[in-house]
Amino acid sequence: MEEALGEEEERASFSFGFVFSLPVRILGVKNTKGRRAELEGRGAEKNTEFLVCRGRARERGTLNRREGWSPRSLFSIMEQDGNDVYDYMVEEYDAVDFDDVEEDMLQAARVRVSLESDLDDDLDNELSNSSDTTAAEARRGKDIQGIPWSRLQFTRERYRDQRLQQYKNYENLNQPHDDLEKECKTPSKGGKFYEFRNNTRSVKSTYVHFQLRNLVWATSKHDVYLMHDFAVMHWSPLTRRSTEVLNVRGQVIPTSEVGRNPWPLGRVQISTMCVKKNLLVAGGFQGEMVCKFLDRPGVAFCCKITHDDNAITNAIEIYERASGATRIMSSNNDAVVRVFDCENFAVISKFDFNWPVNHTSVSPDGKQVIVVGDNADGILADSQTGKTIGKLIGHLDYSFASAWHPDGHVFATGNQDTTCRLWDARMLGKSFAVLKGRIGAIRSIRFTADGRFMAMAEPADFVHIFDSKQDYNHCQEIDIFGEVAGISFSPDTEALFVAVTDRTYGSLLEFNRSRVNPYLDSFL
C-alpha cells in the first residue's frame, strides 16, 4: 500500500461521474518501498496521473490518499445536466462528498441558473428536517439515502449509468483482464437476504487512506463503532444516539500502568480499526496502535509499532487462541506482521514478508492466517510460526481484504483487480470461485457468524451479499452513491451495517436479515 509523505495541499476541480464538480486535496506520496528516488526517476514513469486544474495540466505521482470536498449544493451542479467534460480521470474516487464548492464555482452556477439558489434553500431545509430514512418511508418511494431525485432534471437510473461508464478503478499493476472475466461467476441477482431498515445521517464515518476500508464494526445489532475524523464513535440503533468512545486528536496517554511507555503518542490519524467484544484497537497512519477496553475508562495501551519510514498500520485483527487467550495481530507497511498479547500488550511474535502486508485474517481455530498485501499472490501461513503453508495464486493486483468462513476451511480474498476469490484451505492449488464487483476493487469482506452469507464491499457505490448455501450463485446487490468506509454484520447475523462517507449524504445504513419464519429459516 502506498503511504503519504507530507501535508502538501493543492486544490483541484474535477468532475465526479458527470455532475459533481469537486475540489480535492492532494497529498505528496512515496511508493510502497518508501524510496523517493523511484517517484523522481524511473518509478515515476509508471506512477503518474494527470490533473486538469482550472485549465492547467499538472503531473503528479500516483495519489495514495485523496480527501475531497464537493459542491456546496449537489443540486446546483446536478441541475446543469449538460456537463460532458471530464477534467479529471481519477484512478479511484475517494472521500467523495456533495458540498462545499469554491465560491467562484458557485458564482458561475448561479449565473447559469438563476433560480437554483432558491431551490437549494428549499432542499437544504427539507434535508435538515428529515435527515433519516426509515423502511416505511423507503416503501413509500423515498430514496434510502434521502437524495431528492424528483427535484432534479434526470433520474437516478440515468446517473447510475453515467457512474458505471465514467468510474475508473485504481490499480497498481497493469495486467490484462481478458482471461479474468472468463473465470468470474455470473450469479443471479435480485436476492433479498437483508432488507433496508434505516439510514441515519446523525453519525458519519470518515477514512484516512483510500485503500483501507475496515472502519466499521458491530459488536451487537444495537452497538456499532465507526471512525470519524480523529475519534471512534459508538452508535446505538436502539436509542438513536452516538457517543465518542475514543479521542486521539491530542496526546494519547494510557491510564493503566501496563500500557505506559515513556513516549506517549501525539495526534493519531486512524487508518484502520477492529472491535471485538469489549476490546477496541485502532491503527494509525504513522504506525501507531491504540488499545481501549470498552468497559473501562481511558486508553489501556498505545505505542508506535514501527519507526520505519513505511509505517502505516494497514489492518488490525483481534482473535482468540484455542486456550482462550486474546491476541492482536497488526499488518503494517514495513512488511512485518506482529502478534500482541492482550494481557500485557507485549509483542509475542513477528513475521517478516517480502512486501507490505495490507490485511491478515486468522482462522476460526487460530492455527492458520491469510496474509495479503502489495503482491498479486497471497499466502496461507501458520499463525504460530509465520511459515508459509501455501501460496494463493490467481489475483492480478494487490489485495486489501480477507475473511474466513466459520467452517475453518473456506476463506476469501479481495483484490484491486475487482474480484473476490474463494479458496479451500485443504486444496490451495486454485481458487474454487471468482466473484466480480461492478466498478472497483474489493476492499472489505465479511462472513456472517453462521456462514450463510458473505458480503463484499467496493470502494464506492456497491455492496454485494452472496448466499454460500447456493454456492455463491445467488446474490443481493446494495446500490448506493458514495464512498464505502466499511461494512459489518452483527454477531447474531441479524443486522448488516454499511458506512457511507460523504459531506452531505454521509450516513450509516442498517439492513435487517430477511426472515419469513425464523423457526423454518433455522432449517435452511
Note whether 369 and 453 are same-domain residues: yes
The answer to whether residue 451 is domain-embedded is: yes
What's the pLDDT score for residue 295?
94
369 and 496 in a common domain = yes
What is the per-residue pLDDT across 84-123, written as a single tens digit (0 to 9) for each?
322 322 333 334 333 333 344 333 333 333 333 334 444 4
- pLDDT cut 90: percent of the chain above it: 65
Hey, CA dihedral for 34, 397, 15, 502, is it positive or negative? negative
Among 90, 108, 129, identify where a domain stops. Answer: 129
Residue 516 structural domain: 178-521
Note whether 119 and 233 are same-domain residues: no
DSSP 8-class letter at 63: P
Q: Same structural domain for residues 315 and 374? A: yes
* Residue 184 DSSP SS3: coil
Residue 227 and residue 232: Cα distance in Å, rounded?
A: 4
Report the run of H or E that residue 4 belongs to, with start and end. strand 3-4
Determine the distance from the C-alpha atom of residue 243 to the mean position of all C-alpha atoms in its chain, rounded to a whole number: 22
CA-CA distance, 30 to 37, in Å (whole number)?
Answer: 9
Residue 495 and residue 434 share a domain: yes
364 lies in the same domain as 429: yes
Amino acid occupying residue 522: S
Query: Is 435 among the domain residues?
Result: yes
- Give the C-alpha separation, 479 to 160, whole Å: 9
Which three three-digit cell numbers place residue 454?
458473505
Do residue 183 and residue 81 come from a single domain?
Answer: no
Bridge partners (DSSP) of residue 200 are: 508
| CA–CA distance, 414 with 396 (Å, rounded to integer) | 11
Q: Are residues 31 and 96 in the same domain?
A: yes
Range 108-114 contact pairs with CB under 8 angstroms and sequence separation of 24 or more = 109/71, 109/73, 109/76, 109/77, 109/80, 110/76, 112/80, 113/76, 113/79, 113/80
Answer whether residue 454 is part of any domain. Answer: yes
| Cβ contact 123:152 at 8 Å | no
CATH code (residue 221):
2.130.10.10
Within a domain: 165: no
CA dihedral 249, 29, 331, 302 (to 10 degrees): -20
Q: What is the pLDDT of residue 68?
A: 31
Residue 392 and residue 510 in one domain: yes
φ and ψ of 397, to 5 deg = -145, -165
- Return the closest-CA partner of residue 224 out of 261, 233, 376, 368: 233
Q: How does DSSP assign 281-305, residue by residue?
A: EEEETTSEEEEEETTSSSBSEEEES
Question: Are both 125 and 188 inside the same structural domain?
Answer: no
Residue 468 carries which DSSP code? G
Residue 145 belongs to a domain: no
Domain end marker among 96, 114, 129: 129
Q: Which residues of the chain have pLDDT under 50?
A: 4-129, 524
Specify the amino acid at residue 263: W
pLDDT given for residue 216 in this prediction: 98
What is the pLDDT at residue 382? 97
Pick the closest to residue 440 from 465, 464, 419 (CA basis).
419
Q: How far apart are CA 435 and CA 420, in angstroms?
A: 5
Cα 13 from Cα 88, distance rounded (Å):
8
Residue 397 lies in a domain: yes
What is the per-residue pLDDT for 27?
A: 36
Q: What residues contact residue 255 under an 8 Å CB cut-off, 6+ apart?
A: 296, 297, 298, 299, 300
Chosen domain end from 107, 129, 151: 129
Instruction: Give the number of domains in the chain.
Output: 2
Do residues 92 and 210 both lie within one domain? Answer: no
| Amino acid (one-letter) located at 345 | F
The sheet carrying 336-341 orders its strands as 313-320, 326-332, 336-341, 347-352
The reply to whether 484 falls in a domain is yes
**Confidence (pLDDT) at 174:** 86
Asked if 428 and 391 touch (Cβ cutoff 8 Å), the reply is: yes
Q: Is 150 helix (H, G, I), strand (E, B) or coil?
A: helix
**Do 85 and 229 belong together in one domain?**
no
C-alpha closest to that of 484 among 466, 454, 505: 505
pTM score: 0.79
Quote the pLDDT of residue 80. Answer: 41
Can you tell me the distance from the alpha carbon of 206 to that of 518, in angstroms, rounded to the nearest whole number? 35
Residue 425 inside a domain? The answer is yes
